[in-house]
Amino acid sequence: MGAISRAEVGEHTFLHADMETMPREQLAQLQVQRLRATVTNAYEHVPFVKQRLQAAGVKPADIRSLADLQLLPFTKKTDLRDNYPFGLFARKPAELARLHASSGTTGKPTVVGYTLEDIGTWSDLMARSMYCAGARRGDIVHNAYGYGLFTGGLGAHYGAERLGAVVVPMSGGSTERQVTLIMDFQARVLCATPSYALAIAELADQQGVDLRKSNLQIGLFGAEPWSGAMRKEIEDRIGLKAVDIYGLSEIMGPGVACECDAQAGLHGWEDHFLFEVIDPESGKVLPEGEAGELVITTLTKQALPMLRYRTRDITRITTAPCDCGRTHARILRITGRNDDMLIIRGVNVYPSQVEAVLIGRPHIAPHYQLVVEREGSLDNVRVEVEALPGTPADQFAAIGRDVKHHIKSLVGITTDVKVQAPGTVPRSQGKAVRVRDLRPKEV
């Protein structure tokens, strides 16, 4: 990696044309080679993986085709926690260039490590993603992803630098200053979580600043599931093209997959990752196009090779050709995380489904939380949502009944809807908290 080639196919351009437009048969050959090398790396350097593969009766030499991927056992988030902090690393700590960690809601954080070459690959893929979304050399990139142990900030930062863009390393928070610097520096690209992008837009409104008149043209939004309705809301309010980007620290960080200008699914970078969709119950691999849990295997990671990692993200994959000319499969927009899925009186619900109903409804602002409580033996969901500024408080109840009716008919669940005054739902400065689960924890 490292060498950047720009080639044109029709009117489309690519940052790494050889890889991004590689015929799928050729791509598969590259993947098999890289898969065998990855399994070898894990087998030889990670005792936990070696034991697992031995127990499954698999040796690296058994990997001869992509179908052999299914010989490998899954890796789960609990495996990372159980081997805290460095037990799954294939390199000694002294050989690493960086550590990141995600805070767990329970117990120990998930720790991930990178060699210098891993950081280089990540930077390349993040630059490729940004280019795919429309960012170019020389653009000013306003990076409002949090810097620190979270991979969002530094991931976008290194990618923008690799692209040759100019990074404003803003991080999350100081929202007033975000607005000022976006306007003063004339950023063309905004990187943020979708919920934080909306919080920035809201503050701009309050300051009398019209972001639609700013120089912003492209938003790279990710790190949380968001609905198509949310995309439209952000595009209308900020006046930019809102592009979905995907990643997770266990696999690399942001830049595992990104939308092109077709906005029709996220190209997963298959020269570095293998993507599968499985039935989360049975673990069986599903045919292309069926919805299930996304499973990712890394193909080039040195420090933390990951074999069949269960992401808990629910989605579908297509290898159908894309208008942009890229041959890499597309991950359709993530519906939600398995962890966030609520089962309300037998109906499976993701917060993004409720979001899709809320956003754009009259008098309703795009800020919400779902509160889940146990009433007797039944689970009850209260949707806390805000009225738009200027809405008379004596109309809140009627608006709530209207929203409740639409959630029932479109999502199929009965909820309590509480319409609140503007500004009362907590704003995120990073990943939004969409669900407050107040049910007693089962032991």
Q: Which helix (H) or strand (E) holds 296?
A: strand 292-298
Which of 130, 322, 387, 419 is close enough to bind Zn ion by CB under 5 A?
A: 322
- Contacts to Zn ion from residues 133-152, by CB under 5 A: none
243 is a contact residue toward Zn ion (CB under 5 A): no
Is residue 406 within 8 A of residue 438, CB to CB? The reply is no
C-alpha 94/C-alpha 183 separation (Å) is 43
Q: Closest separation between CB of residue 364 and Zn ion, Å?
A: 33
To Zn ion, the closest distance from the beta carbon of 255 in angstroms equals 16
Task: Give the Cβ contact number of residue 131 at 10 Å.
Answer: 25
| CA angle, 24 then 223 then 266, to 5° | 25
Give whichever of 243 and 314 is closer to Zn ion, judged by the CB atom: 243
- Minimum distance of Zn ion from residue 243's CB (angstroms): 11
Q: Is 260 in the site for Zn ion (CB under 5 A)?
A: yes
Which among 109-117, 143-151, 191-199, 316-324 is the span making contact with Zn ion, rule CB under 5 A?
Answer: 316-324
Peptide linkage before 321 cis (omega within 30 of 0) = no
In whole angstroms, give the CA distance from residue 234 to residue 244: 12
- Please say which residue, 322 or 419, places its beta carbon nearer to Zn ion: 322
CB 436 within 8 A of CB 424: no
Which residue type sits at 375?
E
Stretch of residues binding Zn ion (CB under 5 A), selected from 159-167, 270-278, 314-322, 402-410: 314-322
Minimum gap (Å) between residue 266 Cβ and Zn ion: 9
Rounded least distance, CB 350 to Zn ion, Å: 25
- With CA atoms as reference, report the closest residue to 144 among 168, 180, 127, 176: 168
* Cα–Cα distance for residue pair 413/342, rounded to 1 Å: 11
**Stretch of 300-308, 323-331, 365-373, 389-397 contacting Zn ion, by CB under 5 A:** 323-331
Nearer of residues 310 and 326 to Zn ion, judged by Cβ? 326
Is the Cβ of residue 172 or residue 268 nearer to Zn ion in the bound state? 268
Is-contact 165 218, C-beta < 8 A? no
Whether omega for the bond prior to residue 85 falls within 30 degrees of 0, making it cis, is yes
Q: Provide the minimum distance between the beta carbon of 401 and Zn ion in the complex, in angstroms, as a whole number.
A: 42
Of 52 and 328, CB closest to Zn ion:
328
CB 326, min distance to Zn ion, A: 5
Q: Outline where DSSP puts E strands in 68-151.
A: 98-102, 110-114, 140-143
Q: Which is nearer to Zn ion, 262 or 397 (CB)?
A: 262
CA-to-CA distance for 416 and 397, rounded, in angstroms? Answer: 11
Asked if 324 is part of the footprint of Zn ion (rule: CB under 5 A), the reply reads yes
Q: What's the rounded Cα separation, in Å, for the pair 211 and 205?
A: 8
Q: How far is the CB of 20 from Zn ion (least distance, A)?
A: 9
Closer CB to Zn ion, 46 or 324, in the complex = 324
Angle between helices 151-163 and 116-133 (to 10 degrees): 70
Stretch of 197-205, 320-328, 334-342, 421-429 contacting Zn ion, by CB under 5 A: 320-328
Closest approach of Zn ion to the CB of residue 324, in Å: 3
CA angle, residues 292, 293, 295, in degrees to nearest 5? 130
User: What is the C-alpha separation between 389 and 100, in angstroms, rounded?
Assistant: 40
Q: If DSSP codes are grouped into helix, strand and coil, which group holds residue 368?
A: strand
Nearer Cβ to Zn ion (310/328): 328
Nearest alpha carbon to residue 178 among 393, 429, 432: 429
Nearer to Zn ion, 266 or 370 (CB): 266
Question: CB-wise, 324 or 354, nearer to Zn ion?
Answer: 324
- Scanning 4-12, 96-104, 253-261, 291-299 for contacts with Zn ion by CB under 5 A, the matching segment is 253-261
Neighbouring residues of 4: CB distance < 8 A, sequence distance ≥ 6: 15, 16, 127
Residue 154 phi/psi, 5-degree rounding, is -70, -30
Binding segment (CB under 5 A) for Zn ion, from list 44-52, 262-270, 333-341, 380-388: 262-270
- Candidate segments 27-35, 56-64, 288-296, 321-329, binder of Zn ion by CB under 5 A: 321-329
Count of residues interacting with Zn ion (CB under 5 A): 5
Burial of 149 (0-12, 13-18, 19+ CB in 10 A): middle
- Residue nearer to Zn ion on the CB measure, 266 or 303: 266
CB of 17 vs Zn ion, minimal distance in Å: 13
CB of 228 to Zn ion, least distance (A): 17
- Nearer Cβ to Zn ion (332/341): 332
Q: By CB under 5 A, is residue 266 in contact with Zn ion?
A: no
Q: How near is the Cβ of 260 to Zn ion at its closest, in Å?
A: 3
Strand blocks (E) in 96-148: 98-102, 110-114, 140-143
- Residues engaged in binding Zn ion (CB under 5 A): 260, 262, 322, 324, 326
